[in-house]
Copies of this chain bind each other. A is one copy, B any other.
Amino acid sequence: MKSMVTTQLENGRQTEVLLADDLKDLSAHLGEYGRLVLWVFDTNTVKLFKQLPPSHVVLESGESAKNFSSLERILSSALDEGLARDGRIIGFGGGVVCDMSAFAASVYMRGCRLTLVPTTLLAMVDASLGGKAAIDFQGMKNMVGSFYPASEVLISIDTLRTLNEKEFLNGLAEVIKHALLSQDEELYKFLLMRKNEILSRDPKTLAALVELSLKVKQWYIEQDPLETLGIRQSLNLGHTFGHALESSSHYLMWGHGACVAWGTCRALEAGVVLGVTDKAYASGATKLFKSFGYDIEYRIGRGDWIEYRDHLLKDKKKVDGNVRFVLLEKQGSTILMPLDLQLIQHLVIAKPIF
């Protein structure tokens, strides 16, 4: 186990992210906790283990498992296993399993211990760090939850071998987003130089990629642990444009990552039009997304505008009824502002600007 990142959170709490050599190394580390643990898997991640730990619960895979019934299943298993407050829930899976395990740990006996083992690229670079945990409720994403950082996050790069291409690209879009938000250019340059090793999932390369990406998220979390200061919202770059696409019924085949990549490029364009973003930087970043295979030039059909707009206006992150977009002033520096609906329409259905 090698320490990757240690994030200081409020209240003296911290999350330590450790890199395991492989799943065996990781299991050995977790084995030291003895029997006072409950593992949480989903139907896919449970297959990564030949020998299952005795105390475990297996959720359905996918977003639809982020609900109260999964929460009750985890809590009930914890109770059956006799976990006390000093017991530990170990979430082994993608963002869904991480979110469910963290939420369950936050409320079990008003808070028990928590280890997260993210097994998707998205969960490694995003969902496992930062303490946000939530379930979907009445069709609304992440409506109910808590802030409850894991004390440790264990990463075993070998789990990424079985991840399908779409899920891999979901995570990679967040990595590229992090590269634009970073206070330095290391991650950006790494993406430019190591494209082939990344796409062929060379383990050493992926470990370095995850570490660089986590450090960017860490920076934003430490500035604004509870998302009350407006700094952490920068991490939503591309998400407002992207979510509306993701939610529109015609784009169900688009993955989350593809939408985030597309949305980030729309935000870059908006910045250019408004004189906020440097044109050359926007153009370079757009090319970076493109080079990893994202369809960022796509535009929605004229007939789909109304549905798209309606999804946009439902965005959760409204202030005084206005949806605010994250725009990039320059690398690592963002600004939050509402955008004119006509400009948005122009950007999402017109021809590309550059």
**B109 x A147 contact (CB < 8 A):** no
Q: How far is the CB of A170 from chain B (nearest CB, A)?
A: 23
A11 within 8 Å of B (CB atoms) = yes
A144 to B111, CA, bound (A): 8
Please indicate the chain B residues that have their CB under 8 angstroms from the CB of A318 in the complex: 84
Interface residues of A, CB < 8 Å — how many? 25
- Name A134's closest neighbour in chain B (CB-CB): B110
| Residues A144 and B75 in contact in the complex (CB < 8 Å), given A68-B68, A110-B132, A134-B110 | yes
Evaluate contact between A79 and B143: CB separation under 8 angstroms: yes
A289 to chain B, nearest CB (A): 30
Name the B residues within 8 Å of A134 (CB-CB): 110
Is A28 among interface residues, defined by CB-CB distance under 8 A?
no
**Which residues of B sit under 8 angstroms from A11, Cβ to Cβ?**
10-11
A251 within 8 A of B: no
Contact assessment for B76 and A111 in the assembled complex, using a CB-CB cutoff below 8 Å = no
Q: Do most interface residues of chain A lie in helix, strand or loop, or is the interface mixed?
A: mixed
B residues less than 8 Å from A25 (CB atoms): none
- Which A62-107 residues sit within 8 Å CB-CB of chain B? 68, 72, 75-76, 79, 84, 106-107
Please give, as numbers and ranges, the residues of chain B lying within 8 Å of A111 by CB-CB distance. Answer: 146-147
- Say if the beta carbon of A138 comes within 8 Å of chain B: yes
Contacts of A108 in B (CB 8 A): 143-144
- B145 x A107 contact (CB < 8 A): yes
* A137 in the interface (beta carbon within 8 A): yes
Closest chain-B Cβ to A112's Cβ sits at a distance in Å of: 11
Docked CA distance A10–B109 (Å)? 19
The answer to whether the Cβ of A52 comes within 8 Å of any Cβ in the partner chain is no
Q: Is A193 an interface residue (CB 8 A)?
A: no
Residues of B within 8 A of A76 (CB): 137-138
**Interface membership of A280, Cβ < 8 A:** no
- Among B107, B132, B138, B140, which residue has its beta carbon within 8 angstroms of that of A144? B107
Contact between B107 and A138 (Cβ–Cβ < 8 Å)?
no
B110:A140 contact, CB within 8 angstroms: no
The one of B79, B110, B137, B147 in contact with A79, judged by C-beta atoms closer than 8 angstroms, is B137
Q: Which residues of B contact A146 (CB under 8 A)?
A: 106-107, 110-111, 146
Residues of B within 8 A of A107 (CB): 107, 144-146
A-B contact pairs, 28 of them (CB 8 A): A11-B11, A68-B68, A68-B72, A75-B137, A75-B143, A75-B144, A76-B137, A76-B138, A79-B137, A79-B138, A79-B140, A84-B318, A106-B146, A107-B107, A107-B144, A107-B145, A108-B143, A108-B144, A109-B143, A109-B144, A110-B132, A110-B134, A110-B145, A110-B146, A110-B147, A111-B146, A111-B147, A146-B146
